[in-house]
A = this chain, B = another copy of it.
Amino acid sequence: MAGNSSESGRTVAARTLALLGAFDVAHPRLSLSEMARRAGLPLATAHRLAGELEAWRALDRDEQGCYRIGLRLWETGLLAPVSSSLREVALPFMQDLYEASRENIHLAVRDGFDALYVEKLSGHSSVPVISRIGARLPLHATGVGKALLAFAEPAFIRAYCERPLPRYTRYTIAERGRLYRELTRTRERGHAETNEEMTLGSTSVAVPIPHTSGAPTAALGFVVHSHRSELVSLVPALRAAAEGIAQRLNESADDRAPGLVHDPSV
A residues lining the B interface (CB < 8 Å): 1-2, 11-14, 16-17, 20-21, 23-29, 31, 49, 52-53, 55-56, 58, 60, 64, 66, 68-71, 73-84, 88, 92, 95-96, 99, 111, 116, 122-124, 132-134, 256, 260, 262-264, 266
Complex Cα distance A159/B184, Å? 64
Given A73-B77, A74-B78, 7 more A-B residue pairs with CB atoms under 8 Å apart are A12-B16, A20-B76, A23-B79, A29-B256, A66-B260, A70-B80, A74-B77
Tell me whether chain A's interface is mostly helix, strand or loop, or mixed: mixed
For residue A76, give the distance in angstroms from its CB to the closest CB of chain B.
6
For residue A5, give the distance in angstroms from its CB to the closest CB of chain B.
11
Contact between chains at B266 and A26 (CB < 8 Å): yes
Each complex incorporates copies of this chain amounting to 2
Task: Name the CB-closest residue of B to A122.
Answer: B95
Contact between chains at B13 and A71 (CB < 8 Å): no
Contact between chains at A13 and B12 (CB < 8 Å): yes
Given A28-B79, A76-B73, A260-B31, verify A53-B124 contact (CB < 8 Å).
no
Contact between chains at B71 and A14 (CB < 8 Å): no
For residue A195, give the distance in angstroms from its CB to the closest CB of chain B.
24
Contact between chains at A84 and B116 (CB < 8 Å): no
- Chain B residue contacts of A111, Cβ below 8 A: 71
Complex Cα distance A56/B19, Å? 12
Contact between chains at A56 and B134 (CB < 8 Å): no
- Chain B residue contacts of A74, Cβ below 8 A: 77-78, 80, 82-83, 134
Cβ-neighbour of A79 out of B69, B99, B256 (below 8 A): B69
Given A75-B134, A77-B74, A80-B74, verify A13-B69 contact (CB < 8 Å).
no
- Chain B residue contacts of A123, Cβ below 8 A: 92, 95, 99
- Chain B residue contacts of A29, Cβ below 8 A: 256, 260, 262
For residue A198, give the distance in angstroms from its CB to the closest CB of chain B.
14
Contact between chains at A84 and B262 (CB < 8 Å): no
Complex Cα distance A195/B198, Å? 49
| Most B C-beta atoms less than 10 A away, residue of A49, A58, A80, A132 | A80
Q: Which 6 A-B pairs have the closest CB atoms?
A: A77-B77, A2-B2, A12-B12, A74-B80, A13-B52, A74-B77
